[in-house]
Amino acid sequence: MELKNTLIAALGMEFLEVGQGKVIATMPVDERTRQPFGYLHGGASVALAETVASVGAAAIIDSEKEICFGLEINANHIRSKRDGIVTATAEVVHQGKSTQVWDIKIRDEEEQLICMSRCTMAVVPKK
């Protein structure tokens, strides 16, 4: 997977685990991911959530015949964060023929819940 010149690289995301139905990645809370008031930007959390769901979905489809895209995502921002690292853990809760649903929890270094998200992935045939 080429990460250079992507949103993943720009926001400093790093993958710790990519498995069948589970993905774990980190993202710094720094000048790239903060909003103007100095806190982790909700959009950065959503970008991290969709990234781990997308990578997880891609890992469990037949990449020779299928491709996946984010179809829907929601997020609840539970706690603010000013600096450090957040870790997203995505787990598949539904793996259908044309959709997947992923549950994503983003936590800080103390395991405090920062954001919870659900992402639906569309699985479509390659053309």
Q: Can you tell me the distance from the alpha carbon of 20 to that of 26, in angstroms, rounded to the nearest whole number?
A: 18
Tokens of 35: 């909003």
Provide the sign of the torsion angle of the four alpha carbons 65, 70, 71, 73, taken in this order.
positive
Of 2, 50, 72, 110, the active-site residue reads: 50
* Runs of H (alpha helix) within 15-111: 42-60
111 included as an active-site residue: no
Tokens of 30: 């720094």
- Which phi and psi (to 5°) does residue 13 adopt? -70, 145
Q: How far is CA 118 from CA 59, 61, 63, 100, 109, in A?
A: 18, 19, 23, 10, 22
Give catalytic residues, as residue numbers. Answer: 50
